[in-house]
Structure 1
């Protein structure tokens, strides 16, 4: 079975640099055999992919792409504390926050952008528990934020 880094490369992706914190926290913290990431925004090359609320300014498809980028950023943060992507043995939990209008109820569909990437990279070890939560606003007016708990092997 290919290693997670090989699967990621097969998707035409590479692990980005860890996104620097926007406030007073660490991007990820390891305790024992687990790494907890801070919430990761859809930042690519130093900029948010898009801003706004899902159900108004941002489409479900755009938000799912944001969730995918958030998950990639979370993997970079987790890998920085685990000795590399291939040292991550399992994705335990994903929490996906979706800044959305009050009538929007498709948070799980948006969260699939993150979950599907994790499955593509880690196969069965990418199957995880998940929460998809609608919120009023996220930092920097990001539409999506993702945090992960991973087990290091």
Structure 2
């Protein structure tokens, strides 16, 4: 084992089975050397690992963990379709966080996903946007929008 999979393994992170779409869409599209992933949720076997809004029903640790799981799902989708070795890195990450209007700790939650991608594609880094949402699909606390570059 080498490259991204080894770095993830060494960090105690393992790819799950790629999640199936919850609707009428494909998990990833390749266009002009970029991979555009559909929204990645923190699912395990088709079910969210947690539901609710961060800062209300869920604390920061649960939100951060959900972002980690969503990032691993994104990597599983990439690996299934293209292999992680074919990817130079994530170029853009958007983290949608279900939270109340007064929530201000978006970066703490988004860091969960960023850390996974930073491990997998070291030393490559990515740009990021984190924002709040009233609700997300399946009641999930986070949803990731990922754009990755192929080598």
The answer to whether TM tops 0.5 is yes
Structure 1's unaligned 5+ residue stretches are none
Contact kept in structure 2, 1:35 and 1:81, CA below 8 Å: no
Contact kept in structure 1, 2:94 and 2:145, CA below 8 Å: yes
Contact kept in structure 1, 2:48 and 2:140, CA below 8 Å: yes
Contact kept in structure 2, 1:30 and 1:81, CA below 8 Å: no
Structure 2's unaligned 5+ residue stretches are none
What is the distance in 1 between the residues matched to 2:81 and 2:34? 9
Alignment correspondent of 1:151: 149
Tell me the CA shift for residue 64 of structure 1: 0.6
**Cα RMSD (Å) of the superposition?**
1.2
Contact kept in structure 2, 1:40 and 1:147, CA below 8 Å: yes
Tell me the CA shift for residue 79 of structure 1: 2.4
What is the distance in 2 between the residues matched to 1:85 and 1:44? 20
Cα distance per residue 1:27-56 (max 9 Å; x no partner): 111113110101111012332110001110
Spell out structure 1 runs of 4+ moving beyond 3 A: none
Contact kept in structure 1, 2:20 and 2:46, CA below 8 Å: no
Pair 1:7-2:33 in alignment: no
Partner secondary structure for residue 124 of structure 1 = coil
Cα distance per residue 1:103-141 (max 9 Å; x no partner): 11111111000001111121121x100010100000111
Tell me the CA shift for residue 91 of structure 1: 1.1
Equivalences, count: 150
